[in-house]
Amino acid sequence: MERPVPAPAAEAALDRGAKLSGYSCKKMDLTGQRFGKLLVLSPADNVGNKTAWHCRCDCGREIVAKTAHLRSGHVKTCGCVAIRERLTLVEGTCVEMLQAKTVRRNNTSGVPGVEWMKGARRWRATICFQGKRRYLGKYVRFEDAVKARKEAEAQFHDAFVERYSKERI
């Protein structure tokens, strides 16, 4: 039975180019390979103890990326795609969020802007618009709080999205 190699001896073996635990010490050459919109140009200085590469994005910008990030697909662009896909802010309001009408994961009532206030034993309805939170009231019945919220959405959100859509045409 083989004994485990002590750490200093393992490092010495790695310096000689030996394999340890199935890993090779050979540096992989990614030059000329494409990862998403990035083309690998040449090796770069290591980032910490990780191998890095000079890459050129299809948009023309150059970045340095780690081998692991390129090969795993974690890095596919210089960030130019994310810049183009930013959300549209108008008067402090995100238009896409209003259009989507999504319910956040941490919402417990199932309706955005309606929450149970344990201490008051009431449902509270609120709406956020243009950076301000408006309190719509406290209600004994859940349905009344939902109604207040939906009316406020029509007044603030829907009217804003409709006005924004008309301006874009």
The residue among 105, 125, 34, 112 whose CA lies nearest residue 73 is: 34
Res 89: pLDDT = 75
Helix (H) or strand (E) holding 4: none
3-state DSSP assignment of residue 81 = helix
- The pLDDT of residue 155 is 92
Report the b/e string of 119-138 with b at 16+ CB within 10 A: eeebbbbbbebeeeeeebee
Report the alpha-carbon distance of residue 75 to residue 70 in Å, rounded: 5
> What predicted TM-score, i.e. pTM, was given to this entire model?
0.49
Domains and CATH numbers, the chain: 17-82 (no CATH), 89-168 (3.30.730)
pLDDT digits (tens, 9 = 90+) for 112-152: 999 999 999 999 999 988 888 999 999 999 999 999 999 99
Please name the residue that has the structure tokens 């998403």.
36
Residue 81, amino acid? V
130: amino acid identity, one letter: Q
Extract the tokens encoding 66: 């780690």
| Residue numbers of the chain with a pLDDT score lower than 50 | 1, 3-7, 9-10, 13, 18-23
